Amino acid sequence: MKTKLLLILAIVVSLSFTSVAQSEKLAEPLIGEDIIFEEQDGLVAVEAEFFYKQSKTDKRQWYRSSKFEEAKVGRDDDTLHVYNASNNAYLEILPDTRVTHDDELKRGENFSDIPGIMATVHYRIKFNNTGRYYVWARAMSTGGEDNGVHVGMNGEWPEHGRRIQWCEGRNRWTWASKQRTKEVHCGVPYEIYLDIENPGVYDIQFSMREDGFEFDKFLLTKDKYYKPMGAGPDVVANSKLPDLYPSTYTPD
Whether pLDDT at 6 is above 60: no
pLDDT tens figures, 203-236: 999 999 999 999 999 999 999 999 999 999 999 9
pLDDT of residue 5: 52
Superfamily grouping for domain 2-221: Galactose-binding domain-like (2.60.120.260)
- What is the residue extent of each domain of the chain? 2-221
pLDDT digits (tens, 9 = 90+) for 154-179: 999 999 999 999 999 999 999 999 99
| C-alpha to C-alpha distance for 72 and 75, rounded to whole angstroms | 8
**What percentage of the chain has pLDDT greater than the value 90?**
88
Q: What is the pLDDT of residues 97-155, one digit of tens each?
A: 999 999 999 999 999 999 999 999 999 999 999 999 999 999 999 989 999 999 999 99
Is-above-0.85 flag for pTM? yes
